[in-house]
Amino acid sequence: VDHLSAHDNPVPDVLDSANSNPKALQPRLHLIDEQQKFSETLSTYIARDWGLGDAGFNYNVAAVFGSQSTGKSTLLNRLFGTSFDVMSETARMQTTKGIWISKGRNMKVLIMDVEGTDGRERGEDQDFERKSALFSMATSEVLIVNLWEHQVGLYNGANMGLLKTVFEVNLQLFGGNRGKEKTLLLFVIRDHVGATPLANLSNTLRADLERIWHGLSKPEGLEDCKITDYFDFMFTTLPHKLLQPEKFETEVDNLRLRFSDPSDPNYVFQPQYSRRVPVDGLHIYAGGIWDKIMTNKDLDLPTQQELLAQYRCDEIANAAFATFQEKIKEFRQPIETGNIVENLGPKMNEIRGAAIKSFDKDASRYHAEVYKRKRADMLNKANHMLEAYFLGQLKNLHKKAVNMFSTNLQQALRADGAEFSVAVAAAKKEALDYFLQGAKAIKLGETEWSYDEEQYQLEQGLQEFATAQREKELNKMLTNLEKNLRNELDEPVGLALNNPGPGMWGRVITIYQRTVEEAEQLLQKKARTFDLNEKEQAELTVNLRRQAWVLLTKKVQEESVDGMMLLKLRNRFEEKFRYDDHGLPRVWKPDDDIDTPFRKARDETVELVPLFAKINTMDPVKGEKFELEPSDDFDFDQSLKVLSESRQQEITTKFKRESDAFYLEAKRSVVSTQAK
């Protein structure tokens, strides 16, 4: 049952999915409607209804042309399993104007049924004929020209007018592109009775075509171009569908092979006819062409190809980029919170690679220059986004390297016998190595990223840190040295001063010189580990001497406060007055002269006081006066002064008063022994 011709059983626009049932009719789409509006659902039909979404270049486009009611739609439905409207034999309704599109069953062929192209037969304007011819030529590789056998040879027939239009339009589109993009015209001669062989019919048609071509007014520079520069021809016949139905079906089956079987000797879709439009961009390309046709602008196919490429490459890039952004999101939080993301380099590289690969997959089919440019744009954009993570991780590596340096240095310095400069060099190398290794691992190829600046900053930072640390350690060392100095000085100086006498200051100076000499040796040893230069070392030595001197004079001051002085004087006095020459305590007898020894002991003791007026800097070992250079806050001469004149007086008076008590005590002891 040829249900396709039953007008009262209209075929719905969308039937079962094209591929689920091999016998199902292919859904069709009113691509350009009677208002000459371009459908917005072409891409949906391509992907969803026809299952061609991923076909890329692996698909073909054909269109059919011919007078109305020459059985075009009937032929397409038989050939391709499509569901185009067929005019009912009884009702003879006017079919809608426009272009319908569908897909061949079990073949990747898009087929367009161009209706209402025979306006001239019905006396209508030929505007749509021209528009649809332009559109079909721009998009289709093969044009099927459908005509009755009895139309062959009618040079002025409707078909010939149509062909004239096709040729003109072709020159408009491909004129300058001779031999590059050809179109195949496949003539299908219907209701072939058989009396005239195909060869004769095709010769007649060829002659007519040449004549039409000859009569065309050609654009400048193309005056002598040949029809075969732009077209290839194929001719075939079909028997009468109603009179010889079985033979008709067999012939249609044979004809189908030319569209579906690349190994068929008459296979129509040869590479030279391809319009080079990837199927995922067909809706943009075809829509753009129709738009240009409708607005009567110059229809320049290379420009259309470029526009298409720009549009599609942007779309593809945006999709790839959206996935890319989603994937790199995971790095954000850890990096912003100061962490080091493990394997960040390889991860970024993989995500970027996946985005580029996904872009390449679809976009590489488009106009090469545009594709290359958009690819570079995308790579730039991706690199730009990733650079934020690169820099963030660098910052974190930097921070961690500084921490590492400080921890390691601190630890190394805690060890016995640690040498500062050695410890710094080792800690610095480890921190820098750590940073550089981490930085190298995240620098991606095809970028201008650099970590030189960060490295410089890090080295600078470590240097500053080391300098500050050196200062600290040096101060610690000097503090220790000072403590040592005090320990070394305090007791011997105290002893020397507690045994006052003319050699007292000589002993003090000797103690000072010995202590300072030892401290200087220690300092020199330390200086090596701190990498001190000569100037620094000289400065520290001067400071050390001064410091030791200040400590010494402090001790001298402590020893010469009133109480201490009186103690010293009293001790000396007691030694002389209360003990005899053998060191035994004296017991006074009534006849003893107390006054003379008392006066002698007292005078000798008082003589000690002027010794404390000033430190005598004569060095008994070197036999020369000892001296220190003064500085802003250090006055050597001033530091020598101990007891002023008035204090000497005061202390002497106080002492004399105290000694009086001893005198009375001695007297009383005699009285008390007499009384017994």
Residues binding Mg ion (CB under 5 A): 72-73
Annotated binding residue at 70? Answer: yes
Phi and psi angles of residue 99, each rounded to the nearest 5 degrees, phi first: -125, 125
As a whole number of angstroms, the distance between CA 519 and CA 513 comes to 10
Nearer to ligand GDP, 86 or 169 (CB): 86
Is the Cβ of residue 72 or residue 602 nearer to ligand GDP in the bound state? 72
The one of Mg ion, ligand GDP, none whose footprint includes residue 5, by CB under 5 to 8 A per kind, is ligand GDP
d(CA 471, CA 659): 55
Which of 103, 182, 241, 352 is the binder for ligand GDP (CB under 6 A)? Answer: 241
Helices 420-442, 452-498: crossing angle, 10 deg rounding: 160
Q: Residue 71, annotated ligand binder? A: yes
- Residues in 516-555 at the binding interface with ligand GDP, rule: CB under 6 A: none
Is there binding between residue 70 and ligand GDP (CB under 6 A)? yes
71 binds, among Mg ion, ligand GDP, none (CB under 5 to 8 A by kind): ligand GDP
Residue that the structure tokens 């002064």 belong to: 641
> Closer to ligand GDP at the Cβ: 27 or 116?
116
Residue 188 near ligand GDP by CB under 6 A: no
By the rule CB under 6 A, 78 interacts with ligand GDP: no
The answer to whether 557 contacts ligand GDP (rule: CB under 6 A) is no
- Is 191 near ligand GDP (CB under 6 A)? yes
Reference 370, options 482, 293, 252, 276; nearest CA is: 276
Position closest to ligand GDP via CB? 71
What's the 3-state SS for 390-401?
HHHHHHHHHHHH
Strand partners, 142: 62, 184
Tell whether residue 68 is among the known ligand binding residues: yes
Q: Which of ligand GDP, Mg ion, none does residue 493 bind (CB under 5 to 8 Å by kind)?
A: none
Residue located via tokens 């002598």: 224
**Nearest CB to ligand GDP, comparing residues 154 and 474:** 154
CB of 113 to ligand GDP, least distance (A): 7
| Cα–Cα distance list, 198 to 234, 253, 411 (Å) | 11, 18, 101
No. of helices (H) and no. of strands (E), the chain: 18, 9
Q: How far is the CB of 39 from ligand GDP (least distance, A)?
A: 20
Q: How far is the CB of 360 from Mg ion (least distance, A)?
A: 42
Closer residue to Mg ion in complex, CB, 72/78: 72
- State in angstroms the smallest separation of the CB of 190 from ligand GDP: 5
* DSSP-based three-state secondary structure for 190: strand
Pick from 71, 81, 98, 288 the residue near ligand GDP by CB under 6 A. 71
User: Helices 282-294 and 301-336, interaxial angle, to 10°?
Assistant: 130
Q: Which is nearer to ligand GDP, 128 or 174 (CB)?
A: 128
Sequence-distant (6+) residues with CB within 8 A of 282 are: 42, 43, 46, 110, 139
Which residues on neighbouring strands pair with residue 114, listed in sequence order?
A: 99
Name the residue nearer to ligand GDP (CB basis): 6 or 376.
6
242 part of the interface to ligand GDP, by CB under 6 A: yes
Q: Strand runs (DSSP E) across 433-583, as ranges?
A: none
Kindly state whether residue 73 participates in binding ligand GDP, applying the rule CB under 6 A: yes
How far apart are CB 75 and ligand GDP at their closest, in Å? 7
Binder of residue 82, out of ligand GDP, Mg ion, none (CB less than 5 to 8 A by kind): none
Contacts 24+ apart (CB under 8 A), 45-52: 45/101, 46/110, 46/279, 46/280, 46/282, 46/283, 48/17, 49/14, 49/17, 49/18, 49/103, 50/18, 50/26, 50/102, 50/103, 50/110, 51/17, 51/18, 51/19, 52/103, 52/108, 52/110, 52/279
**Shortest Å distance, C-beta 70 to ligand GDP:** 4
Query: C-alpha angle 427/430/435, rounded to 5°?
Result: 125
Q: Contact between 63 and ligand GDP (CB under 6 A)?
A: no
Residue 260, binding choice from ligand GDP, Mg ion, none, Cβ under 5 to 8 Å by partner class: none
Q: Is 67 annotated as a binding residue?
A: yes
Q: Which does 352 bind (CB under 5 to 8 A by kind): Mg ion, ligand GDP, none?
A: none
Listed ranges 70-78, 256-264, 267-275, 512-520: which one lies at the site for ligand GDP (CB under 6 A): 70-78
Whose Cβ is closer to Mg ion: residue 13's or residue 650's? 13
Of residues 79-98, those binding ligand GDP (CB under 6 A): 86-87, 89, 95
Instruction: Among 69, 126, 457, 537, indicate the residue that binds ligand GDP (CB under 6 A).
Output: 69
Name the DSSP class of 284. H
The SS3 of residue 141 is coil
The nearest distance, CB 97 to Mg ion, in angstroms, is 11
User: Which C-beta is closer to ligand GDP: that of 6 or that of 587?
Assistant: 6
89 touches, from Mg ion, ligand GDP, none (C-beta below 5 to 8 Å by class): ligand GDP
Backbone angles phi and psi of 198, in degrees to 5: -55, -40
Number of residues located near ligand GDP, criterion CB under 6 A:
17
Query: Which letter does DSSP use for residue 591 in this model?
Result: T
Residue 569 structure tokens: 């004087």
Q: How far is the CB of 238 from ligand GDP (least distance, A)?
A: 6
CB of 88 to ligand GDP, least distance (A): 6
Q: Does 240 bind ligand GDP (CB under 6 A)?
A: yes
Rule CB under 6 A: is residue 68 a binding residue for ligand GDP?
yes
> To 10 degrees, the CA torsion angle through 411, 417, 420, 421?
-120
3-class secondary structure, 61? strand
Q: Shortest Cβ distance from residue 124 to Mg ion (Å)?
A: 16
Has 69 been labeled as part of a binding site? Answer: yes
Q: Alpha-carbon distance 156 to 228, whole Å?
A: 22
Q: φ, ψ for residue 283 (rounded to 5)? A: -65, -35
CB of 77 to Mg ion, least distance (A): 9
| Alpha helix stretches (DSSP H) within 261-367 | 282-294, 301-336, 344-363
Q: Which is nearer to ligand GDP, 5 or 652 (CB)?
A: 5
Rounded to a whole number of angstroms, the minimum distance from the CB of residue 169 to Mg ion is: 21
- Contact call for residues 564 and 508 (beta carbons, < 8 A): no
Helix (H, G, I), strand (E, B) or coil at 181: coil
Q: How far is the CB of 28 from Mg ion (least distance, A)?
A: 11
Q: Which stretch binds ligand GDP (CB under 6 A): 66-74, 129-137, 462-470, 579-587?
A: 66-74
Contact 378, 355 (CB under 8 A): yes
Q: Which does 241 bind (CB under 5 to 8 A by kind): Mg ion, ligand GDP, none?
A: ligand GDP
Report which of 289, 283, 291 is spatially closest to residue 138, judged by C-alpha positions.
Answer: 289
The residue ranges that bind ligand GDP (CB under 6 A) are 5, 68-74, 86-87, 89, 95, 190-191, 240-242
**Binding-site positions for GTP:** 66-73
| Sequence ranges of the binding site | 66-73
